[in-house]
């Protein structure tokens, strides 16, 4: 038996917008775990234990802070009808902060 959904389809432009955002955040979430430890130890000479902490602590922080940020975003969407301020803030700050992760001070 087949059923037909009466829900409205999400416009392709909206799906593409969310997909593009996911590519950016997916890269930011995956790349540091793959190359940051190598960069810290081999390029900057940081001890392996400290490099492990540098990679692990932010991931643990995400586990703690994500529910709080999600609740704030939900409350904002309920009040304003949109999460755009959060999305815009992320879109504008993610690229420069990602570049800063790999920008070693000149003295090193």
pLDDT value for 6: 56
User: Which residues neighbour 76 within 8 Å (Cβ) at sequence distance 6 or greater?
Assistant: 82, 83, 85, 86
Domains of the chain by residue range: 13-101
Element (H, E) at 56: helix 48-80
Question: What are the tens digits of pLDDT across the range 2-47?
Answer: 555 556 788 999 888 888 878 877 777 777 777 888 888 998 899 9
Instruction: Evaluate if residue 108 carries a pLDDT over 70.
Output: no
Across the chain, mean pLDDT equals 83
User: Which residues neighbour 55 within 8 Å (Cβ) at sequence distance 6 or greater?
Assistant: 32, 33, 36, 37, 40
Residue 28 corresponds to which tokens in the numbers above?
């930011």
Cα–Cα–Cα angle for 7, 8, 10, rounded to 5 degrees: 125
pTM (2 decimals)?
0.54
pLDDT value for 103: 84
Residue 82 corresponds to which tokens in the numbers above?
């949109």
């Amino acid at each position: 038996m087949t059923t037909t959904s009466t829900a409205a389809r999400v416009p392709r432009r909206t799906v593409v917008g969310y997909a593009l955002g996911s590519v950016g955040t997916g890269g930011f979430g995956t790349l540091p775990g793959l190359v940051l430890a190598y960069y810290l130890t081999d390029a900057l000479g940081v001890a392996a234990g400290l490099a492990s902490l540098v990679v692990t602590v932010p991931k643990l922080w995400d586990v703690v802070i994500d529910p709080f940020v999600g609740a704030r975003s939900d409350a904002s969407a309920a009040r304003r009808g949109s999460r755009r301020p959060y999305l815009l803030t992320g879109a504008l700050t993610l690229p420069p902060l990602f570049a800063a992760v790999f920008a070693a001070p000149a003295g090193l």
